[in-house]
Structure 1
């Protein structure tokens, strides 16, 4: 049975769209295009895509916590083997495919795939270190020491943050056991986030990519799931909450990150949590065809992994200087379409089959994970 929540899918779809537009804007720019007629503040909003990553963190914290509560009743009863198996089955197959493509093209010294970002020329052995850091959840730390060094691998810093969360959550829950201690730990992470960002506000690799810079958003998602069990909203109240939180997200997004490095991410996380709270009363979308945002949300992981590979390939065909004014919007449309096609193919032929095969092979007695968890 399909248990997806269309509102959560839409929020996730909006988040990944923010990331896609950001990376295209960084690669090709938007001002020297027909979009240049738009107000400058609206053009500038395209460069705030890291707020979309914060939205992802909140959604991840919320979904993993709520699904674990549904499956095991209490977080202290999480089956460690089953939990890690679910995460490996969902995340690893597509990630290994993406990394294989990057390594192959990087080994051939194809621009934007090799370790030459930012004018660096790192030795080939650094590829091994970089891939290992992605697979062992500390690529963000590697970037803090090496800077931006590989165009494709750079974006996987956020996966290291989420994977570290997946690693630590069940362990912390089994150790702390009592719900109030788990909530207190979440509260500590929420307090630590702005403090850490205030200490590194001048370095984006630290205030955006560090574990402590991001764990507060995940903790807000976890707390939302824990507190949601005691919240009962009517359909009308939930609709208003979704509307108001959507407006808050839009206003915060347009306001931007610059000058709001400390608390901007916190407020984006709080607004996202409010939207998730307003989504709890929504019935699962069982027969309705997903809209564009819902489709993007359902394929957000594959879009995240492969959009940068598509974009790197396109940059090898035409660079920013070679793209004419009238060509920028069609090039953006081509980027979005090619990324969507790649994500759909990977989801259909890699992620889905591998996910099912791994679960069946190693945990045949476990009930399938609800499809709302990505």
Structure 2
């Protein structure tokens, strides 16, 4: 039985699409191109892809918490070994593949894959600490001290935030045990987020990439999952929530991050939670085929890992200075198509079989 919710998949698809557009826009620019026929406010929305990451955090908080509640009945009863193994099985195989490609090309000193510090090349040995930071959940902290030192690895800061959440959630729930205490912890994270961002609003690596800067969105997702366990809106209210939340997300995107460093991310998180709540009211996906956004949402992790590798490869083939304004849209289409193909292949031949094999082996070991 298909229990996926196509509304949540669509939200996740919109989030990853925002990230892809942002990174292409930063690499090649969308201004002074055929897209200039669009209103300036709509074009500006393409540069707000970091809001898409906030949407991911809310979705992750919701899905991990709701799945844990379904699997173990109570957050206090989370099986630590099983929880961590499920996360490893889902995340690690395709991540190791992506990191291997980046390191190989970086060691060969291929542009946009190698490490650099303010234009000065770093030794290949720096990959040791860089990859270690990705695999041990503190790549965002490394970036706070080293800056943007690797074009491909830079985007993996958000994975460190998610991984730290995966590490802390079951431990916190097992320690706190009571639902009210867990909710208070989430509330504290929601309050701390805007305070932290207000204190670091002059540094985007701090106010966007820090743990505390992001945990409020994850906490909002967690609380949404706990809410839906006790109450779900009617189908009519669900539709109203989805439409209202969708319009709110569009409005915040258009307004942009600049000047809204403190509460812009909070608004995106709340709107995303409202959309999820409305999606829950609609129930799991029907038998109809998923649309493009749902497909993007279902493959969002592989798209996230490999889109930057595709983009780095493109930048080695065609430079922004040599790309005419009229050519940017075809290259954008090529980038999206190549990224989708890479994600589909990785999901089909790496992520899904490795995930299934690791879980199956663990179940067999547990039965002995």
Q: TM range, normalised to the smaller chain?
A: over 0.9
Aligned to 1:188: 188
Give the distance between the partners of 1:226 and 1:120, measured in 2 at CA.
49
User: Which residues of structure 2 form unaligned runs of 5+?
Assistant: none
Q: Which residue of 2 aligns with 1:11?
A: 11
Hey, what does 1:39 align to over in structure 2? 39
1:113-152 matched pairs, under 5 angstroms:
113-116=113-116, 118-152=118-152
1 CA distance for matches of 2:104 and 2:233? 51
Instruction: Tell me the equivalent position of 1:199.
Output: 199
Distance 1:170 1:100 in 2: 30
Query: 2:220 maps to what in 1?
Result: 220
293-302 vs 225-234, greater mean Cα deviation: 225-234
Quick one: distance in 1 between partners of 2:340 and 2:221? 27
Report the counterpart of residue 319 of structure 2 in structure 1: 319
Whether the 8 Å contact between 1:120 and 1:149 is mirrored in structure 2 is: no
2:81 — aligned with what?
81
Instruction: Note closer, same or farther for the CA distance 1:229–1:346 as it changes in structure 2 (3 Å cut).
Output: same
Shift of 1:45: 1.1
Distance 2:212 2:169 in 1: 15
Is 1:168 the counterpart of 2:159? The answer is no
Q: Secondary structure at the match of 1:261?
A: coil
CA distances 1:282-308 after superposition (whole Å, capped 9, x unpaired): 232252111000000000000000000
Q: Which moved more, 1:227-236 or 1:128-137?
A: 227-236
Q: Does 1:353 align with 2:353?
A: yes
Distance 1:129 1:351, change over 3 A: same
**Structure 1 CA distance for aligned equivalents of residues 352 and 158 of structure 2:** 22
Q: Is the 8 A contact 2:93 2:351 kept in 1?
A: yes
Give per-residue Cα distances to partners, 1:253-306, cap 9 Å, x unaligned: 101100000011001000000001111122322521110000000000000000
Equivalent in the alignment of 1:209: 209
Matched position secondary structure for 1:232? coil
The 1:258/1:366 distance shift into structure 2, 3 A limit, reads: farther
Per-residue displacement from partner, 1:141-160 (whole Å, max 9, x unpaired)? 00000000000000000000
- 1:337 matched to which residue of 2? 337
**SS of corresponding position for 1:30:** coil
Deviation of the 1:328 alpha carbon: 0.4
Which structure 1 residue ranges, 4+ long, deviate > 6 Å from structure 2?
A: none
Distance 1:176 1:92, change over 3 A: same
Name the structure 2 match of 1:229. 229
Using the alignment, how far apart are the partners of 1:139 and 1:120 within structure 2?
A: 20
1:308 aligns with 2:302: no
CA distance in 2, matches of 1:204, 1:361: 43
TM-score after normalising by structure 2: 0.98
The aligned residue for residue 21 of structure 1 is 21
Residue 117 of structure 1, CA deviation:
6.3
Q: In the aligned structure 2, how far is the partner of 1:4 from the partner of 1:118?
A: 44
1:78-104 Cα deviation digits (max 9, x unpaired): 000000000000000000000000000
In structure 2, C-alpha distance between the alignment counterparts of 1:353 and 1:321, rounded to whole Å: 42
Q: TM-score, normalised by structure 1?
A: 0.96
The count of corresponding residues between Structure 1 and Structure 2 is 367
Whole-Å separation in 2 of the counterparts to 1:75 and 1:366: 21
Name the counterpart of 1:288: 288
How far is 1:230 from its partner?
2.5
1:118 CA displacement: 4.2
Q: Secondary structure at 1:169's aligned position in 2?
A: helix
- 1:253 partnered with 2:267: no
Contact 2:306 2:342 in 1 (8 A): yes
For 2:50, the equivalent position in structure 1 comes to: 50
| Contact 2:201–2:261 under 8 Å retained in 1 | yes
Q: CA deviation at 1:44?
A: 1.4
8 Å CA contact 2:117–2:146 kept in 1: the answer is no
